[in-house]
Homo-oligomer: A and B are copies of this chain.
Amino acid sequence: VTSPAAANVAPDANGTDSGPLLGIGAAAARLGVSERALRYYQQLGLLTPSGRTPGGLRRYSAGDLARVERIRELQTLLGFNLDEIKGVLDTEDRLAVLREEYQSSRTGDARRRELLGEFLALREQLRETVQAKIDRLLGFRADLDASIERIHDLLRDA
């Protein structure tokens, strides 16, 4: 699917036309983050915008936006710092590359198994972290429910 030619939109550098590229202001507004945050992620190597205009303005693709959402999810939901997040994203990027190479058999069979085993271990480790957080939150919720129940009791015989 090719989007109709829109005025003022730079050509998609990586070839996959994923719709119009956004300026940093529009991207930040759509994501609910600050422009400063987007520039900071780039400075740390977490997210490089897909393009720049000849004038030097950053242009963000739909994939770029999805990546930022992933960053925020890992930050707010799991409490990871940006260095840890970089580790997770790097793993996911490498896994995507391996998947790409899969039909074109550029990677040897043994090497494939080795990499896949590595990825599997990392994903399962992340799953453990998530599960632990879920368990703690369920305990927290149970305590809250008990507290709420006690207030109801007090209200009954007040």
Contacts and interface: CB of A to CB of B under 8 A. Distances in A.
Interface residues of A, number: 37
Work out how many copies of this chain go into the complex. 2
Interface stretch (A29-37, A59-67, A122-130): A122-130
A75 to B, nearest CB: 9
16 contacts: A77-B136, A77-B137, A95-B151, A99-B154, A113-B158, A116-B151, A116-B154, A120-B148, A120-B151, A120-B152, A123-B147, A127-B144, A130-B140, A130-B141, A134-B141, A137-B137
A145 interface: yes
Interface in A100-156: 102, 109, 112-113, 116-117, 119-120, 123-124, 126-127, 130-131, 133-134, 136-138, 140-141, 144-145, 147-148, 151-152, 154-155
